[in-house]
A and B are shown apart, each in its own frame.
Chain A
Amino acid sequence: MIKRVVDFFGDERHAKKRRRLFYLVLVLIVIADFLVFREHAEYLWERLPGWSALYGFGSCVLLIFVSKFLGHQCGLMRREDYYD
């Protein structure tokens, strides 16, 4: 069972199915976010359905590019023998 689940995520022949499933999940999450009951919202963004999806995506992109910028342009990343 484990092997089949793992193969589904690994094998190239399931790539198309995998991608479809992934997009379906994304759409369902956003729809669900519009439907859930919001009891009390402390902050403005908590009242916005779909905010978390947007923020998650934005955070991910920001983290990747800010980190790589710091690594490459600000010299945080060095050759492996830097300390030798």
Chain B
Amino acid sequence: MTDFVHPGLLFILGALPIPILKGSVRKAYVLLIPTLAILAVLTMHPGGYGAAQFIGQQIMIAKVDKLSVLFATVFSIMALIGTVYALHLTHAAQHVAAFVYVGSALGVVFAGDYLTLFLFWEGMTFASAYLVFAQRSEQALRAGYRYLMVHITGSVALLGGIILHGFATGSVLFGPIEDGLGFATCLILAGFLLNAAVPPLNAWLTDAYPEATVTGAVFMSAFTTKTAVYVLARAFPGTDLLVWLGTVMALYGVVYAVLENDCRRLLAYHIVSQVGYMVVGIGIGTEMAVNGAVSHAFAHILYKALLFMGAGAVIHVTGRRKLTELGGLYKTMPVTLTLYMVGALAISAFPFFSGFVTKSMVVAAAGQDHRALVVLALTMASSGTFLHTGLKLPYYMFFGTDQGLQAREPPRNMLVAMGMAAVLCIAIGVFPQTLYALLPHPVDFDPYTGVHITESLGVLMFTALGFVIFLRALDPENTISIDTDWFYRMGARRFMWLAEKPLARYEKAVSDVSETAALPFLHRMARAGLRIDLRGVDAFVNAVARAILRGGGALRRLQSGVVTHYALAMIAGVIAAIAVFAVAWR
């Protein structure tokens, strides 16, 4: 029995046979791989595996410690839930893409050096982009292309940073960056922040996730941003900049969620908001704050996937995604609604749900670190979280105006997957010690104090009061919101306009000038050249040739073949030479 089976490679290599399997064999197989991965994660021992030399650098394929095991645990559990949710798919391609995506995320989590990390980082980008392209609509293709472009730009920054950092320190091993924020580390940080969807680098997420397939978006909601949280926790704990970026992020997502009409885009803005808490925790960098950040990532993956599964189930059944077109589904989809609400209560941090025991750790750590403003901002963001995911979205989707939609509960596998996630959301909330035991640092924090419970309920239920009073102000509107993707969407359009209008006109003007003026001139020049060539150069050459021919003929006549003639000529020559000698010598 080996000590270590790389769960990432299990997924990536395990994806290969999926297309050749059919029917229930394939279903059993795609469930087997995540189960094996969970077992592999649970049985692995801390240490370094797969150390080797590559282009003169020491690399390490897998480094196992508490932090990587924590993320690997939730990633492999999430892969199982996501696969159950996608079990009804008839095409193999999405399963393959999801497996490569999960495998790459696990590869990043275990990467002991930057080169391995980068390789898997790219794997994630391409595999996840397929989950958007698989939707196949014109809109999805465009969004997927933008998603790919933005991530490739981020990857180039990351690779540049890695190379510069490697040259500066002489090592590409992945660990805490201690030499401050130089140019190289800034590039690496920018690459990480882009994947964590930190504003202004957030728009790729809210642009692409709602366009992905119903099952693909569930995977996407879990892996890319949380892998970024992991690498930030690994490389940049205690970076003060992250506290402020995270605080802004937590409120940014909430503000945009008010404006949003697309149900999955609303949830995507809440990913931005929730990842903000994690970024704050990492930025504070104390043991409690990092514990809070990574435990929140663990809880977040499960409840956010549950929310995406709930919204996805509604889209799967009704084919509609806008809140203005939904409503009244509680009669036909009560189970979906209930399971969705478990996720909503978990993200809102209600007592006995997972968010309560993790989010509060970040806020408490900010309080202990004497950051009053951060505490207030994060509490405000919690209020906004419940307002949207717990009240606005379920109200307009399941209650509100009855649109008379023909709906039913989604396929059984979808409900089972949602049930699995819901059970975990509650289990973490009720038994937080199990999760706390997995955290990288020892935990000295009890979420269930009287004051914490009443304060949380106070914030949340009075948010509900605000919602009830100002319900009409929250009515969804048939609009889209401008985010930072405006810069590259409109920028690309301006560029195309520039290429199509002024540049094309300039190109036409240049070719016109060359056709009307330059070309005839060149033609005349060529003809003149031809005339000079024919009449001048050729005539001279011909004349020389004729002269040589004539000279040759004259010379030939001298060669008579008679010896006496030659002897006579030699004598005449000798006499001439003597005469010349006699005259010239003097």
Contacts and interface: CB of A to CB of B under 8 A. Distances in A.
A complexed with B: yes
For chain B, the bracket of interface size reads: 35 or more
A43 B370 CA distance: 9
Interface stretch (B76-84, B128-136, B454-462): B454-462
Contacts, number: 158
A64 B191 CA distance: 33
Contacts of B461: 25-26, 29, 53, 56
A37 B460 CA distance: 20
Given A63-B387, A78-B480, A22 B468 contact: yes
Contacts of A33: 451, 454-455, 458
A71 to B, nearest CB: 4
Given A37-B450, A64-B466, A10 B383 contact: no
A46 B454 CA distance: 12
Interface string A72-84: 0001111110110
A52 B383 CA distance: 10
A65 B482 contact: no
Contact of B330 (A10, A37, A43, A63): A10
A77 B458 contact: no
Contacts of A54: 462
B380 A53 contact: no
B479 A80 contact: yes
Nearest to A75: B482
Interface in B361-381: 367-368, 370, 372, 375-376, 379-380
A50 to B, nearest CB: 7
Interface residues of A, number: 49
Interface stretch (B302-310, B331-339, B564-572): B331-339
A42 B455 CA distance: 14
A43 B375 contact: yes
Contacts of A32: 450, 454, 457
B383 A56 contact: yes
Contacts of A57: 462-463, 465-466
Contacts of B4: none
Contacts of A10: 330-331, 398-399
B367 A42 contact: yes
Nearest to A61: B466
Contacts of A77: 259, 477, 479-482
B15 to A, nearest CB: 34
Contacts of A42: 367-368, 370
Contact of A71 (B258, B367, B460): B258
Contacts of A56: 383, 458-463, 466
8 contacts: A6-B334, A22-B464, A29-B461, A30-B458, A36-B454, A43-B367, A52-B456, A64-B466
